[in-house]
Structure 1
Amino acid sequence: MITPNIDSLARQGVILNSSYVQPVCSPSRNCFMTGYYPYHTGLQHDVIFPLIPGYVPANFTMLPQKLKELGYATHAVGKWHLGFCNWKYTPTMRGFDSFLGYYNGAEDYYTRVRDDGFDFRFNKTVARNYSGPYSAMTFASRAEEIIRTHDKTKPLYLYLPFQSVHEPLQVPQRFEDMYRNITTKQRRTYCGMVSALDEAIGNITQALRDSGLIDNLLLVFTTDNGGPTYAGANNLPLRGAKTTLWEGGTKGTAFVYSKTLLKKLKYTNTGMIHAVDWFPTLLHLAGGRPDPGLDGVNQWDMLSKNWPSNRLEFVYNIDDLRNNSAIRYGDMKLIYGKPGDFNDWYPLPRLDEIFQMDKKTWPQYQLYNLTADPTEHHDLATKFPDLLASMKLRLEKWRQSMVPAHYPPQDPKGDPKNWGGVWSPGWC
């Protein structure tokens, strides 16, 4: 990958080599914004598709709401994907001073259209004047504007979930041309999309330098799920892909960067951190305290001082509709049920050949030692029955606090044709 800006920030900061997210994006965003596992908020099953009236319940306080109480200016730029069927679930009603972006999980990078509906807003207003430029550059421009005009007497929280590098695979030709050596069109486009993202991040980093904000900044860079190997990505040597409970679907690219706040720099941290941990960690750094009962733990000492992680275990997911789950405890990982549909180690460049749903029968439980076997080749479930039994008890303990997945059927009331051709709130 040709990513000089991302590489530079990562190498000057702390690369996180045991950073975990959810198998798909809405659940991960739920973790970032609430500090709760999705199986505690009802978002554990799949993503919020356009006509499904799904959302993060309003009784969960989101991170920007907490930061606003501490005097922060809060802005969101990019992809929301945490519910929009009612206005109360949209960004400016959940703690953000401003929002530029789209509500759904995917759309055209240029036209801002998804399934015959336009999806782009500035705050609550339909923003058709933003059609045309590639979305990575649109979002970078908005981020630069926020940085340039920010009142420096207040702290700033900027949440910048890029559309990149999600399907549909689209990129300006000049970025695809950087990878002429790659013969597979899908992979070539995907790589170009990563480099377009890198240029956007470079532009934003320069704006932070020019404004002086970079001198007192913590930058967190993370994915929201593993790579979709069926759509151009590469997770090797890890097993599986986006949508699965394998490491390839859940172990995420991540780093943190700061010129002043990190005591130890330019190294790779192997401490265990989960997406739910960002909420209490950032809140702590801002001088706040999370409400009791949060799933996330404050990892600031781990990040800033290279101390041991504050967590020994976490839940990958507990999905009552798909009837699968996985947990981590120390070195051990327990998987219950079928892990997903993309269960192998996918080579490049034969990407167009692997979009085949897995039909084989899976054992009820699988057990892996991720320290000894990070690529999940060796199932230990039958070899260590006592260890398996103890892990099953741990899973059952976690499962007792599960709330049922909130995954209602599609509602035709949300069809854009009912809202002037625009994806709009107001139908739930």
Structure 2
Amino acid sequence: MKQVKLLQNVLLLSLFLAVPGSNEAAKPHIVFIVADDLGWNDVGWHNPDVKTPVLDQLAHEGVILNQSYVNYVCTPSRTSFMTGYFPYHVGSQHLVFRPDQPSAIPSNFTFLPEKLKELGYATHMVGKWHLGFCNWKFTPTYRGFDSYYGYYSGAEDYYTHYRSIGSEGGIDLHDNKDAVTNQNGTYSTYLFAQRAADIVNQHDPNSPLFLYLPFQNVHAPLQVPKRFEDMYANVEDENRRKYLGMVSALDEAVGNVTMVMQKRGLWDNTLVIFSTDNGGMIIRSGNNYPLRGGKTTLWEGGTRGVAFAHGKMLQKTGYTNNEMIHAVDWFPTILAAAGGTADPGMDGLSQLDTIISGHPSPRTEFVYNVDDVFPTVQGAIRVGDYKLIEGFAGIPDGWYPPPNMTGSPEPNSMNPIIGTWLFNLKDDPTEHHNLADTMPDKLKEMQAKLEEYRKTLVPAINPKADPKSDPQNWGGAWSPGWC
């Protein structure tokens, strides 16, 4: 059976890499686009009130990934993308890395672009890092990227590119190793789309390209050029109007990048993967309805993300795929598309067969998170159709319909949620019916499984703030060199 499976994989990969009219195989160009805090209900294919024509077209021409899971906040998801490991195996499971903390993903983890470079890829990154920068060795250009343009921390002003935290503050925009100080007033989405376009224009189309494009949109603060906000003039809630404008600005930026790829002749051999990093942040006008909760929670609204794959090499397209995929899977999937193989023991599983041909996912379970820092225990897993949450599930809880034209709805609950929940997500995807009391045997089975996962936990990287991080020590910019 192993030989048959190996032969199937070889045949699939040969079809994937074949170029019409050529006797040689060409590795695909790969563009990995990540939106920041984009909610389940904040894209056109889920909500017709949202104007995302470019993303809608790509999603409908490709395959919509309806069971694609991410982590509950930024740093853990980006850890999964770049390492292929669950955050609790890396140490990044507790909230996010702050810019004043000497925290980073340990150097013993090989990042995705490092593996792709071994396969002959040019590797470029444009956008948000958020995986640590206190030492140069933790920054993108030392972790496999040929070039980097973006910001190291988790959030900042879209126009001034200034990040404040406590009494510290400074510029956080970098071109490779240099701070960028001459773009005050330019919306970051424009900068990132233009740099991505420049990379494509300068790239040799005969060599494979990997472009990692994690945009700032639609993370707070709510800032957007007025022309995008005006697209939603009928939305009376100002914050929601700005947020939706930010979604449409993201959509236009993606369109500008794909247009350049078409003009350069790269598009027909390009695989696009699009994902959010976590659910929408409800208190910042993101919306995940009808899913429960949002960013910072282990409810589905915080962890079930909008995603799709697009490319002419996909053999089955124009449908919604309901196979289970997790953020850790993108590392081995992208590596497989490039002709490589992930290291044994990695948490991620290649979903190449699933996204190309619609084959059943090799994944049957995953860990939402296991945290060792919260005052109360926190853990959540999915096994088959069942989901278990123990401890702190996160806030806000509840179901939040999108704001109507007369204002935003009041939150269902802003109280900390601590308890035990068991759901059958196939029957109850919106998590309305807790089965913990009515299915004691299943509950015990899931709790035992969670405890097995917990045994492999790596302590969270959560150091105290270090005053040496102050940008005033580094010419007014958030910079490496202090750990």
TM-score by length of 1: 0.97
Structure-2 residue corresponding to 1:414: 469
Q: 2:411 aligns with which of 354, 366, 383?
A: 354
Counterpart of 1:191, as a letter, is L
Q: Is 1:285 matched up with 2:337?
A: yes
Asked whether the 8 Å contact 2:386–2:425 carries over to 1, the reply is yes
Asked whether the 8 Å contact 2:398–2:411 carries over to 1, the reply is no
Q: Is 1:77 matched up with 2:131?
A: no
Residue segments in structure 1 that go unaligned for 5+ positions in a row = none
Q: For residues 74-119 of structure 1, give each alpha carbon's deviation from its aligned partner in whole angstroms, at most 9, with x where no partner exists.
A: 0000011110011100000000000000001000101100013101
Cα distance in 1 for residues equivalent to 2:206 and 2:262 = 17
Asked whether the 8 Å contact 1:230–1:351 carries over to 2, the reply is no
Asked whether the 8 Å contact 1:234–1:346 carries over to 2, the reply is yes
Deviation at 1:152?
A: 2.0
Structure-2 residue corresponding to 1:376: 431
Change (3 A) 1:352 1:231: farther
Cα distance in 2 for residues equivalent to 1:120 and 1:55 = 18
Deviation at 1:160?
A: 0.3
Cα distance in 2 for residues equivalent to 1:81 and 1:356 = 29
Alignment length, in residue pairs? 425
Counterpart of 1:309, as a letter, is S
Asked whether the 8 Å contact 1:179–1:191 carries over to 2, the reply is yes
Q: 2:81 aligns with which of 32, 41, 45?
A: 32
Structure-2 residue corresponding to 1:342: 396
Structure-1 residue corresponding to 2:160: 111
Corresponding residue SS for 1:284: helix
Q: 1:319 aligns with which of 371, 377, 397?
A: 371
Deviation at 1:50?
A: 1.5
Corresponding residue SS for 1:160: strand
Q: 1:298 aligns with which of 350, 354, 362?
A: 350
Q: 1:171 aligns with which of 224, 238, 244?
A: 224
Q: For residues 389-416 of structure 1, give each alpha carbon's deviation from its aligned partner in whole angstroms, at most 9, with x where no partner exists.
A: 0001110111111111111111111011
Q: Equivalent residues in 2 for 1:35-184 (5 A)?
A: 35-115=84-164, 116-184=169-237
Q: Equivalent residues in 2 for 1:178-257 (5 A)?
A: 178-257=231-310
Deviation at 1:358?
A: 1.2
Query: Identity rate of aligned residues, in percent?
Result: 59
Deviation at 1:131?
A: 3.0
**Moved runs in structure 1, 4+ residues, more than 2 A?**
129-132, 350-357
Asked whether the 8 Å contact 1:229–1:351 carries over to 2, the reply is no
Cα distance in 1 for residues equivalent to 2:257 and 2:443 = 48
TM-score by length of 2: 0.87
Q: For residues 226-274 of structure 1, give each alpha carbon's deviation from its aligned partner in whole angstroms, at most 9, with x where no partner exists.
A: 0101101110000001000000000000000002x11001000000000
Q: For residues 155-209 of structure 1, give each alpha carbon's deviation from its aligned partner in whole angstroms, at most 9, with x where no partner exists.
A: 0000000000000000000000000111111100000000011111111111011
Deviation at 1:153?
A: 2.6
Counterpart of 2:353, as a letter, is D
Counterpart of 2:336, as a letter, is H
Cα distance in 1 for residues equivalent to 2:274 and 2:445 = 35
Asked whether the 8 Å contact 1:35–1:294 carries over to 2, the reply is yes
Cα distance in 1 for residues equivalent to 2:461 and 2:104 = 8
Asked whether the 8 Å contact 2:113–2:123 carries over to 1, the reply is yes
Asked whether the 8 Å contact 1:230–1:355 carries over to 2, the reply is no
Corresponding residue SS for 1:271: coil
Cα distance in 2 for residues equivalent to 1:84 and 1:200 = 27
Deviation at 1:353?
A: 4.3
Cα distance in 2 for residues equivalent to 1:34 and 1:13 = 26
Q: Is 1:394 matched up with 2:449?
A: yes
Q: Is 1:331 matched up with 2:385?
A: yes
Deviation at 1:346?
A: 1.5
Counterpart of 1:276, as a letter, is V
Corresponding residue SS for 1:182: coil
Q: For residues 52-84 of structure 1, give each alpha carbon's deviation from its aligned partner in whole angstroms, at most 9, with x where no partner exists.
A: 111111000000000001110000000111100
